[in-house]
């Protein structure tokens, strides 16, 4: 025991070096986690007295149609904003990685560019492209003989616009992530497939996909966490108004309850439910990916 204490004493400078992270972690993560458990069982407006309400916040949450509405929207936005984008990213990465493609550097930069654009800016740009009256997209729709769409008056169309923003901003990022995985697949695997006369599609399905599994799991996990934290898109889109139909999300709901109505206890309860949803979905992702591992 004395030896251990001596070791600790000898390493005191090292503990000092790593301490900032842990101090911040305690103050801004560990304490908030416990505090939010406490808050979630209370009714509090941030100024007056706290009132213990037991599980009332959770009971109310599960019976509030607005919450369910936000949750369903959120799930739809998560799928619309990620599934098409991840598939495209995979194909783009596969194509850029092909030996006969030149200008790889150019493609990487061009595809990555949207990702460095701030979400607030993305929302402003896309809102003008999808304008109800004079948006460019509606102009093009009419040009090809279709009727224009009132993008922000229908829940489904509004969701498509938000999903388009997410797809645009993250497709290139995910393509780069996949590309890094592709470059680690040994070249001789592809050469062997070519010798066996495998087509491009066969190579993609039999070699590329299985080899990329860990990195695909990583990107799906990240999009799940990201998908349930959607906030900026619907919030900036609607400006000072309440969110457009079909675009309310769980974080937006929590933000409104906490920071607009000052129902801090209730908002803490919402964040716990959000945490559990993300946790469950992460486990589910992981399970699905390991099952197909036979």
253-272 residues in contact with another protein (CB under 8 A) are 254-255, 258-259, 264, 267-268, 271-272
Residue 181: how many other CB atoms lie within 10 Å: 20
Residue 38: how many other CB atoms lie within 10 Å: 13
State the alpha helices, DSSP H only, in 98-231.
104-112, 119-129, 136-143, 155-182, 187-195, 200-203, 209-227
Bridge partner residues of 42 (DSSP): 52
Determine phi and psi for 42, rounding to 5 degrees: -125, 160
Rounded to the nearest angstrom, the gap between the alpha carbon of residue 5 and the centroid of all alpha carbons in its chain is 45
Site string for another protein, 63-102 (x = CB under 8 A): -------------------------x---x--xx-x-xx-
* 72 or 225: CB nearest another protein: 225
Binding residue (CB under 8 A) for another protein from 110, 146, 209, 280: 110
State yes or no: residue 146 binds another protein (CB under 8 A).
no
* 240 or 294: CB nearest another protein: 240
Inter-residue contact 243 to 267 (CB < 8 Å) = no
* 125 or 288: CB nearest another protein: 125
- Say how far apart CA 185 and CA 292 lie, in whole Å: 20
Output the CA angle 260-264-265, nearest 5 degrees: 145
- Say how far apart CA 219 and CA 5 lie, in whole Å: 43
* 156 or 259: CB nearest another protein: 259
* Residue listed under structure tokens 């990916």: 289
Inter-residue contact 267 to 61 (CB < 8 Å) = no
155-174 residues in contact with another protein (CB under 8 A) are 168, 171-173
Of 213, 181, 186, the residue nearest 293 (C-alpha): 213
5-24 residues in contact with another protein (CB under 8 A) are 7-8, 11, 13-15, 17-18, 20-22, 24
Only one of the segments 26-34, 61-69, 79-87, 187-195 lies at the binding site for another protein (rule: CB under 8 A); that segment is 26-34
- 244 Rama sector, left if φ>0, alpha if ψ -120 to 50, beta otherwise: beta
Binding residue (CB under 8 A) for another protein from 180, 199, 202, 242: 180
Binding residue (CB under 8 A) for another protein from 45, 68, 87, 125: 125
Considering CB under 8 A, how many residues would be counted as binding another protein?
91
- Say how far apart CA 153 and CA 169 lie, in whole Å: 24
Binding residue (CB under 8 A) for another protein from 130, 170, 228, 244: 228
Binding residue (CB under 8 A) for another protein from 1, 2, 28, 195: 28
Binding residue (CB under 8 A) for another protein from 69, 218, 245, 289: 218
State yes or no: residue 209 binds another protein (CB under 8 A).
no
State yes or no: residue 220 binds another protein (CB under 8 A).
no
Binding residue (CB under 8 A) for another protein from 184, 197, 201, 292: 184
């Amino acid at each position: 025991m004395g030896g251990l204490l001596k070791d600790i004493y000898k390493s005191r400078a090292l503990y000092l070096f790593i301490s900032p992270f842990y101090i911040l972690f305690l103050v801004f993560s560990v304490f908030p986690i416990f505090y939010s458990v406490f808050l979630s069982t209370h009714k509090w407006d941030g100024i007056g007295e706290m009132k213990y309400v037991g599980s009332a916040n959770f009971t109310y949450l599960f019976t509030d149609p607005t919450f369910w509405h936000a949750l369903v929207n959120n799930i739809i936005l998560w799928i619309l904003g990620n599934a098409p984008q991840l598939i495209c990213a995979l194909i783009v990465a596969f194509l850029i990685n092909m030996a006969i493609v030149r200008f790889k550097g150019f493609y990487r930069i061009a595809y990555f560019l949207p990702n460095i654009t701030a979400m607030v800016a993305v929302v402003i740009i896309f809102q003008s492209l999808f304008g109800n009256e004079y948006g460019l997209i509606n102009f093009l729709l009419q040009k090809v003989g279709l009727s224009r769409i009132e993008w922000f008056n229908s829940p489904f169309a509004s969701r498509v616009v938000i999903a388009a923003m997410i797809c645009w901003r993250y497709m290139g990022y995910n393509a780069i992530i996949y590309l890094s995985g592709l470059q680690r697949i040994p070249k001789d695997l592809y050469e062997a497939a070519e010798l066996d006369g495998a087509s491009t599609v066969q190579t993609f399905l039999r070699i590329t996909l299985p080899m990329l599994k860990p990195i695909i799991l990583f990107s799906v996990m990240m999009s799940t966490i990201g998908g349930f934290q959607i906030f900026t898109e619907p919030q900036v889109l609607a400006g000072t108004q309440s969110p457009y139909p079909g675009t309310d999300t769980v974080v937006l709901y929590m933000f409104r309850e906490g920071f607009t109505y000052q129902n801090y206890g209730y908002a803490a309860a919402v964040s716990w439910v959000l945490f559990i949803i993300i946790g469950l979905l992460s486990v589910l992702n992981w399970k699905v990916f390991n099952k197909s591992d036979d």
